[in-house]
Structure 1
């Protein structure tokens, strides 16, 4: 007897989003490979270069990632000297993340690779469709769920 439930899976928002995210994430990882950065690492360095020093929690919120996963993602960047993670002078419990000159240099070197991938994606998917996709995905973040709330 087949007990599989298939109908809801076909309309599962989570599965559709994760499939697309894995597909596109692997595509960006491949495009950035020669820089020695993965797409998530590039995004972290880009946010730090644009916004300056911030706590791990603030950076995690900005990228929509839980704090523990962000801390794990920062470890290889810190080992390579691309970021520093130091206790906050104001609150010793908080950790401040900073991009180093080497991190800024690596992010700038990777930027043309990222930009080329952006262009390729928009040529295949359509610039307007890509803009609508980004807007829709941003709207998902405003649905009111609190996946990392304590």
Structure 2
């Protein structure tokens, strides 16, 4: 029996994931609003806090984002002085991203808000289910697709 277009929407992995992602992103954005950061910006700053400096390409790979979108997301962070983006001294084609002291301070100021919304989600959804969800989503990244391959 063939599926109708109506049935397909309920089976689409991409739609289900994007709906959940928009829902959670809006929830985290709202929680982080007092810090002036959006969830994506917080994630970028948090990831940068573990690296001394990193190329845009490497950072994009770490957070599974294409370079162009990452560069767009870095612009307001650079304007606010939370990160610097400069040409690599060893490869002029590469751009190096560095977290500034102000960026680290903003990320640390946002941590309590993030922890609160994280705990609320885990309480509502279930801590074990949340752990399983993160593991399943990490597995998605190992499916062999190459969305940003050139």
Shorter chain as denominator, the TM-score bin is over 0.9
Q: Superposed, which structure 2 residues align to 1:38-49 within 5 Å? A: 38-49=38-49
Unaligned runs of 5+ in 2: none
The structural deviation recorded for 1:52 is: 2.3
Report the TM-score, using the length of structure 2 for normalisation.
0.97
Report the TM-score, using the length of structure 1 for normalisation.
0.97
* Corresponding residue for residue 117 of structure 1: 117
Q: Is 1:70 paired with 2:55? A: no
Query: Residue 147 of structure 1 aligns to a residue in which SS?
Result: coil
State the superposition RMSD in angstroms.
0.7
Query: Residue 65 of structure 1 aligns to a residue in which SS?
Result: coil
Q: Distance in 2 between matches of 1:28 and 1:52?
A: 26
Query: Residue 84 of structure 2 aligns to a residue in which SS?
Result: strand
- Number of residue pairs the alignment of both structures matches: 147
* Corresponding residue for residue 85 of structure 1: 85
* Corresponding residue for residue 28 of structure 1: 28
Segments ≥4 residues shifted beyond 4 Å: none
* Corresponding residue for residue 10 of structure 1: 10
Unaligned runs of 5+ in 1: none
